[in-house]
Structure 1
Amino acid sequence: MTKARILAIDTCTESCSSALLCDGDIISQSQLAPREHAKLLLPMVQQLLADAQMSLSQLDAIAFGRGPGSFTGVRIGTATAQGLAFGADLPVLPISTLQALARQGYRLSGIEQQLAAIDARMNEMYLGAYRHLDGDMVAVAKERVCPPEHWREIIESAPATSDWYATGSGWNAYLATLGELPSNVTCHADDLFPLAEDMVALAEFAWARGEAVDAALAQPVYLRDTVTWKKLPGRE
């Protein structure tokens, strides 16, 4: 894999984080601080670059959590990535928050198949399913926003002997309503949120595949945007 220098940022959930990949090494910072992302993010980035004795212009690309997650958080991360990239004339790498969450679950559990879920409120979760493959996390089902019980559709389509690890805030938010989990599904005991250190590792694979895009083309992924508009009077 081509070695790259990539900065990653994420503000899509309650966690605010940044990470820097340089010559194969990752340094990172994170803080659980809802509603403070706009204040915390740029100082985090500046500190990482200072620690690595680098400038933005020495990077190859900027990765960012493109969602799903909180509407405000997704917008903050996308706009910040675009601003940094425009200023340094760099491309960007949009990374799924669910994919990053799945990589974190794999790091913690060693279980190759991950069910990543973020609490989407309104009795729904953002849900993705991934399989670990040579360091990368490959999607085995399309990301979706859905009622909590819909996760069963994913494992029912997989071999019965497959082990799964359930990771993320979506599980603990609705675990009481889901009943007993199958024996091949292990749920992480505490809430986990996507981290930039996982995003930057995934971004290295995306960079090698040539998936970097111009900053102007950076697009957030909300999954629920059409639902939100329909809740406004006169919007269909």
Structure 2
Amino acid sequence: MTNTLTIETSGLTCSVAIKTPIIEKHKILAEPRSHGKVLLPYISELLNDAGIQVKDINTIGISIGPGSFTGLRIGFAITQGLAYSNKIPVVPISSLEGMIHSFCSQSNLPNTFENIKKSIVVVTDAKMGHLNFGHYRVNGLEAETILKDRLIEISRVEHLILSLKPELILVDNLSYFSKFKIDFENTFEVHSRAQDLIRVTEYRHHIGLSEDVKDLELSYLREADAWQKNRHP
């Protein structure tokens, strides 16, 4: 029997999900700067609903970014506390890849990638004139990386997308990206959610891709001091 907890705090939305052999539930709140207030209470509520304790969790899936500096740090700190003290392995998941899993779920597609297009570009606003950019290929149960998540200048996005010729483009804000000359017929707005990370967390844990929380690293794509300089000019 496997008990799985997933945490997603990389964006404006804070979400947590739990799955046991008996129950599968989630909590989500789309409210800016709420992560620090609600994350632990949400986890406690879900554990109580499932009738288990933290020590009963077999693995924790966590979105490691790129995304909100503050949100990522909150999710990271709580995951560290839960996993380290209870020796729970963790499964790190890119927030850009997480958007692919959420697209599949929110499109009411089967719980595999077999029915969605194969080449997917994921782009999110990274502020300060930059974008978070990733290119993936869907292969069975996995979203394989073609172009590693990276930070690019806004001026490069149109050329890069045209050169890669993806079959699907996922963005975090459709109105923001409407100013670019990209294929909007196959462009969709989606946000990564914890409940959509359950399947990939279980799969990667099953095939031995979970890791010790001491080895967990966040993917900022931008140095932390750049965020501080931007917030305090």
Shorter-chain TM-score above 0.5: yes
Identity %: 27
Deviation at residue 8 of structure 1 after TM alignment: 0.7
Give TM-score scaled by structure 1 length. 0.82
Find the counterpart in structure 2 of residue 168 from structure 1. 172
Pair 1:25–1:134, CA change in 2 (3 A): farther
Between 1:29-38 and 1:113-122, the stretch displaced more is: 113-122
Gaps of 5+ in 2: 108-114
15, 18, 24: which one aligns with 2:16: 18
Taking structure 1 as reference, are residues 206 and 38 closer, same or farther at Cα in structure 2, changes over 3 Å only?
A: same
CA distance in structure 1 between the partners assigned to 2:76 and 2:61 by the alignment? 9
Which of 111, 118, 123 aligns to 2:116? It is 111
User: Cα gap change, 1:46/1:151 in structure 2, threshold over 3 Å: closer, same or farther?
Assistant: farther
Change (3 A) 1:155 1:139: farther
Is 214-223 or 201-210 further displaced after alignment? 201-210
SS in 1 for 2:11: coil
CA spacing shift, 1:24–1:115, aligned 2, 3 Å: farther
Instruction: Tell me which residue corresponds to 1:187.
Output: 187
Matched, 1:131 2:137: yes
Give, in whole Å, the separation in 1 of the partners of 2:134 and 2:90. Answer: 22
Q: Is the 8 A contact 1:137 1:202 kept in 2?
A: no
Q: Aligned in 2, Cα 1:151/1:226: closer, same or farther, shift over 3 Å?
A: farther
Alignment size in residue pairs = 221
CA shift for structure 1 position 97: 0.6
Return 5+ residue gaps in structure 1 as ranges. none
| Separation of aligned partners in 1, 2:91 and 2:3 | 12
- Is it true that 1:142 corresponds to 2:140 in the alignment? no
Seen in structure 2, the aligned counterparts of structure 1 residues 227 and 36 have a Cα distance that, compared at 3 Å, is closer
- After superposition, residues 31-180 of structure 1 pair within 5 angstroms as 31-109=29-107, 111-112=116-117, 113-148=119-154, 149-150=156-157, 152-154=159-161, 156-158=163-165, 163-169=167-173, 171-176=174-179, 178-179=180-181
Distance in 2 separating the partners of 1:116 and 1:142: 11
CA RMSD, Structure 1 to Structure 2 (Å)? 2.6
Code of the residue aligned with 2:168 in structure 1: it is W
**Offset at residue 55 of structure 1 (A):** 1.4
In the TM superposition, residue 139 of structure 1 has moved relative to its aligned partner by 1.9
In structure 2, the CA distance between the partners of 1:208 and 1:225, relative to structure 1 (3 Å rule), is: same
Query: For residues 172 and 123 of structure 1, what CA distance do their matches in structure 2 show?
Result: 16
